[in-house]
C-alpha cells in the first residue's frame, strides 16, 4: 500500500484545505489511536495507551490540538498536552516518559497558514513506514467510539519545558560552560521561544533574544533559520560572539559569526565533525544528502572521515546513519542529527555541539571552518505541467556534456520536487560561471523534454 497522506515528514498542508481540516485530523487521531491500542507492548492489562501532543505557535494549533485529542480519546487513548514545545522536545519526552507515541502539530519552517501532523514512536524516532501505512489503512473506517468507561482522558503536562531545558543542557560537557560569550538567539516566534534562551543563559552565556513574541501569525516571518538577515543585523548591533537561528519547530539551525556572516548546515556539520575527529570522538563517518556541498565531502576526505549521501530529507539521513552505524549527519538547510545526543534533529543541541567545538579551539566560526571551501551551487527550478522523463535524450545529452566539462570538480543533481510540479536542476563546480552555464543548458533541455 502506498501512502496517500504521509510524506517524508508527516501530513502537511494549508489549514482549512484537505487534509489539514478539523474533521480529517480528528479521524487521523482516531486511526492512530486504533493502531496504538492494538499494540499493547509494555502495557499492563487494562492500562490505556498514552500519547503526548505538542505544537508550535501557529494559531491553527488550538483547533488541530482539540481535534487530534478528540480522535485519540475516542479510540481509548490517554493524552498528555504540552502546549507549544519544539519538535525534538516531544521526541525526547515521549521516550523518557515511556509513552506509546508522540505527536507534533507543526509545519516547521512553513508560513503560519500551513500546518501539519507528525508522529514519533515510543523510542522517540519517526514512525516506521509500516506503522504509517497501518494508520492510513484505518482512515477508511468510520469512527466508532469505544464504550464510555474506556474513553481516553487528557491532562496538561506543566513541567514539559523545564524537563526539556535540562535535557538540552545535559548534552553539553558538565565541566564546561558558556561564560563570557554574548549570543544572539533567534527563535523565529516559534516553539523554542520560551526554551532556547533559557538553555544558553543557564549555561552561562549573555543572551540577546529575537523572535520570542509569538502571536499565532508571525512564526518564521522574516526571522529564524529561513530568514537570517535579522540575525546578521543583530550580531553587528550587539557585537555578539555568535548567533543562533532556529526555525518554527526548533529542528533546524543556522549560525552567524561575530561579523554577521551566516553559516549553513554543511558548515556546521563540518565544525562538529572536525572537533570530534580532533578529540577522537568521531564514530564512523558523516551522512549528507544529494544537495550537500561537494566542498564539504572533499574537506572531510582530507581528514580521513568517510562520507555518504542520502536522498533529500532528514528522514533519509537518519535511515542511512542507522544503516551504517554512524551518528553524525545533516542537511544544508540546517537539519543536523547527532544520534549520540538525541534520536532526532535538534537545533538547540546541534548549536551546543558547535559551541563546544569553538570554545575548545577558542576560535570564531570563520577560523574553525577555514579549511572548508564551499563550491558554488546553482539551483534552477523548472516548472512542468506533467511528469518529465529525466532520461529523455535531450536531457541526457545536456547532462553528459556538462558532466564532461565539470570533471571531478563538480556535480549535477536532477530530481523532481516531492511537493510541487517542478524539476530541480542543481549544478555545482569550482567555477561559478561554468556552473551557471551548465545549469541553464540542462534546464532548457528539461523544458524541451516537458513540452
pLDDT in tens, 264-284: 999 999 999 999 999 999 999
pLDDT computed for residue 39 by the predictor: 78
Structural domain tally of the chain? 4
Look-up: residue for cell 485519540?
72
User: For 171-223, how does the pLDDT look when each residue is reduced to its tens digit (9 = 90+)?
Assistant: 999 999 999 999 999 999 999 999 999 999 999 999 999 999 999 999 999 99
CA distance 165 to 98: 19
Residue 388 pLDDT exceeds 90: no
| Pair (15, 155) in one structural domain | yes
Backbone angles phi, psi at 155, to 5 degrees: -150, 155
- DSSP E strands: which ranges in 226-370? 242-246, 253-256, 262-263, 286-289, 307-310, 328-330, 336-338
- Residue partners of 303: CB distance under 8 A and separation at least 6: 273, 274, 277
- CB-based contact 296:265 (threshold 8 Å): no
| Pair (18, 130) in one structural domain | yes
Q: Chain centroid to CA 208: how far? A: 24
CA distance 274 to 272: 6
Backbone angles phi, psi at 15, to 5 degrees: -60, 135
Q: Is residue 31 part of a domain?
A: yes
Q: How many CB atoms lie within 10 A of CB 407?
A: 9
Q: Model confidence at 419, in pLDDT bands (50, 70, 90)?
A: low
| Pair (16, 138) in one structural domain | yes
Q: Alpha helices, DSSP H only, in 147-288?
A: 160-170, 196-202, 229-238, 265-279
- DSSP E strands: which ranges in 15-84? 50-55, 78-84
Mean pLDDT of the chain: 95
Share of the chain above pLDDT 70, in %: 99
| Pair (155, 29) in one structural domain | yes
What is the mean pLDDT of the segment spanning 330-346? 97
Q: Which domain holds residue 414?
A: 377-450
Q: Model confidence at 1, in pLDDT bands (50, 70, 90)?
A: low
pLDDT computed for residue 2 by the predictor: 65
Q: Model confidence at 41, in pLDDT bands (50, 70, 90)?
A: confident
| Pair (192, 274) in one structural domain | no
| Pair (258, 273) in one structural domain | no
Q: Is residue 168 part of a domain?
A: no
Rounded to 5°, the CA angle 417-345-310 comes to: 45
CATH number of the domain within which 389 lies: 3.30.310.50
Flag the least confident range among 82-86, 313-317, 336-340, 371-375: 313-317
| Pair (17, 148) in one structural domain | yes
Query: What amino acid positions are annotated as catalytic residues?
Result: 108
Q: Check residues 40 and 83 and name the one with the higher pLDDT.
A: 83
Q: Model confidence at 134, in pLDDT bands (50, 70, 90)?
A: very high
Q: Is residue 89 part of a domain?
A: yes
CA distance 296 to 292: 7
pLDDT computed for residue 262 by the predictor: 98
Nearest to 195 by CA among 174, 219, 211, 216: 211
User: For 146-165, how does the pLDDT look when each residue is reduced to its tens digit (9 = 90+)?
Assistant: 999 999 999 999 999 999 99
CATH number of the domain within which 129 lies: 3.40.120.10
- CB-based contact 205:181 (threshold 8 Å): yes
Residue 418 pLDDT exceeds 70: no
pLDDT computed for residue 228 by the predictor: 98
Burial bucket for residue 106 (CB in 10 Å: 0-12, 13-18, 19+): buried
pLDDT computed for residue 385 by the predictor: 79
- CB-based contact 103:53 (threshold 8 Å): yes
Which grid cell is 81?
A: 498536552
pLDDT computed for residue 166 by the predictor: 98
User: For 97-121, how does the pLDDT look when each residue is reduced to its tens digit (9 = 90+)?
Assistant: 999 999 999 999 999 999 999 999 9
| Pair (252, 273) in one structural domain | no
Amino acid at each position: 500500500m502506498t501512502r496517500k497522506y504521509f510524506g517524508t515528514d508527516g501530513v502537511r498542508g494549508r489549514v482549512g484545505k484537505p487534509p489539514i481540516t478539523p474533521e480529517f485530523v480528528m479521524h487521523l487521531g482516531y486511526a492512530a489511536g486504533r493502531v496504538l491500542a492494538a499494540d499493547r507492548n509494555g502495557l499492563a492489562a487494562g492500562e490505556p495507551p498514552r500519547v503526548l501532543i505538542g505544537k508550535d505557535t501557529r494559531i491553527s494549533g488550538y483547533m488541530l490540538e482539540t481535534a487530534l485529542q478528540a480522535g485519540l480519546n475516542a479510540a481509548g487513548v490517554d493524552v498528555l498536552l504540552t502546549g507549544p514545545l519544539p519538535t525534538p522536545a516531544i521526541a525526547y519526552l515521549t521516550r523518557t516518559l515511556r509513552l506509546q507515541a508522540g505527536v507534533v502539530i507543526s509545519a516547521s519552517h512553513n508560513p503560519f497558514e500551513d500546518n501539519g501532523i507528525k508522529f514519533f514512536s515510543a523510542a522517540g524516532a519517526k514512525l516506521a513506514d509500516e506503522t504509517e501505512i497501518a494508520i492510513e489503512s484505518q482512515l477508511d473506517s468510520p469512527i466508532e467510539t469505544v464504550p464510555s468507561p474506556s474513553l481516553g482522558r487528557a491532562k496538561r503536562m506543566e513541567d514539559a519545558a523545564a524537563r526539556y531545558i535540562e535535557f538540552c543542557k545535559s548534552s553539553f560537557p558538565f565541566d564546561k560552560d558558556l561564560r563570557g560569550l554574548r549570543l544572539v538567539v533567534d527563535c523565529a516566534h516559534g516553539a523554542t521561544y520560551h526554551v532556547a534562551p533559557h538553555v544558553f543563559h543557564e549555561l552561562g552565556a549573555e543572551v540577546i533574544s529575537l523572535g520570542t513574541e509569538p502571536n499565532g501569525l508571525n512564526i518564521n516571518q522574516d526571522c529564524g533559520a529561513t530568514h537570517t538577515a535579522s540575525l546578521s543585523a543583530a550580531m553587528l548591533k550587539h557585537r555578539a560572539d555568535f548567533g543562533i537561528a532556529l526555525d518554527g519547530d526548533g529542528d533546524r539551525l543556522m549560525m552567524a559569526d561575530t561579523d554577521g556572516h551566516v553559516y549553513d548546515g554543511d558548515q556546521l556539520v563540518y565544525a562538529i565533525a572536525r572537533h570530534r575527529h580532533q578529540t577522537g570522538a568521531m564514530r564512523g563517518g558523516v551522512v549528507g544528502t544529494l544537495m550537500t556541498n561537494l566542498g564539504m565531502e572533499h574537506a572531510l576526505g582530507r581528514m580521513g572521515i568517510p562520507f555518504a549521501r542520502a536522498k533529500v530529507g532528514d528522514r533519509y539521513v537518519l535511515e542511512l546513519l542507522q544503516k551504517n552505524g554512524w551518528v553524525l549527519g545533516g542537511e544544508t538547510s540546517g537539519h543536523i542529527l547527532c544520534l549520540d545526543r538525541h534520536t532526532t534533529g535538534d537545533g538547540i543541541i546541534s548549536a551546543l555541539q558547535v559551541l563546544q567545538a569553538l570554545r575548545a579551539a577558542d576560535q570564531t566560526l570563520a577560523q574553525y571552518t577555514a579549511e572548508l571551501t564551499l563550491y558554488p551551487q546553482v539551483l534552477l527550478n523548472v516548472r512542468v505541467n506533467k511528469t518529465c522523463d529525466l532520461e529523455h535524450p535531450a536531457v541526457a545529452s545536456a547532462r553528459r556534456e556538462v558532466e564532461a566539462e565539470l570533471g571531478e570538480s563538480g556535480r549535477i543533481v536532477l530530481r523532481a520536487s516531492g511537493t510541487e510540479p517542478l524539476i530541480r536542476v542543481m549544478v555545482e563546480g569550482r567555477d561559478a560561471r561554468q556552473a551557471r552555464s551548465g545549469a541553464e543548458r540542462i534546464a532548457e533541455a528539461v523544458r524541451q523534454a516537458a513540452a
